[in-house]
A = this chain, B = another copy of it.
Amino acid sequence: MIIRIEPESEIPIYIQLTNQIIIGIAKGDLQPGDSLPSVRSFAADLGVNMHTVNKSYHELEKRGIIEIIPKSGAVIRKTLHIDRDTYNRLFEMFQPLIAEALVLGMTKEELVDLVEGIMKKMST
């Protein structure tokens, strides 16, 4: 799985990493039950600090995407059906993006096409 970190980006490194891990899971590069690299080895590979990777892992855990097993490792969780709190959180995240797309001139059809186009690149 390929991770690209752009240190000069305005997006914090730990968020870049978090997003790319999520995309990797969605694409099937990482599957439920798989382990993520240790924070130390991953940090060495990416050329960032151990604590930055650790922050990503805890962000993923907070969102219910991985399970961190102390003294062992980080494992991709098997996801059941979405719960109400998570649905509401996703709603709040999608709303401003959809509003912006419409305000900037996308039609509803174009927006649905964009979303479906992105989904087609994901396997799960």
Interface residues of A (CB under 8 A from B): 19, 22-23, 25-27, 63-65, 79-82, 86-87, 90-91, 93-106, 108, 110-112, 114-116, 118-119, 122, 124
Instruction: Give Cα distance in the complex from A114 to B118, angstroms.
Output: 15
Given contacts A64-B104, A65-B103, A79-B103, contact A22 B96 (CB under 8 A): yes
- Evaluate contact between A115 and B93: CB separation under 8 angstroms: no
When all copies of this chain in the complex are counted, the total is 2
Given contacts A90-B114, A115-B112, contact A81 B95 (CB under 8 A): no
CB-based nearest B residue for A95:
B118
CB-based nearest B residue for A78:
B105
Q: Which residues from chain B contact A81 at a C-beta distance below 8 Å? A: 105
- Evaluate contact between A102 and B124: CB separation under 8 angstroms: yes
Report A19 CB to chain B, min CB distance, Å. Answer: 4
Instruction: Give Cα distance in the complex from A13 to B108, angstroms.
Output: 29
- Evaluate contact between A91 and B103: CB separation under 8 angstroms: no
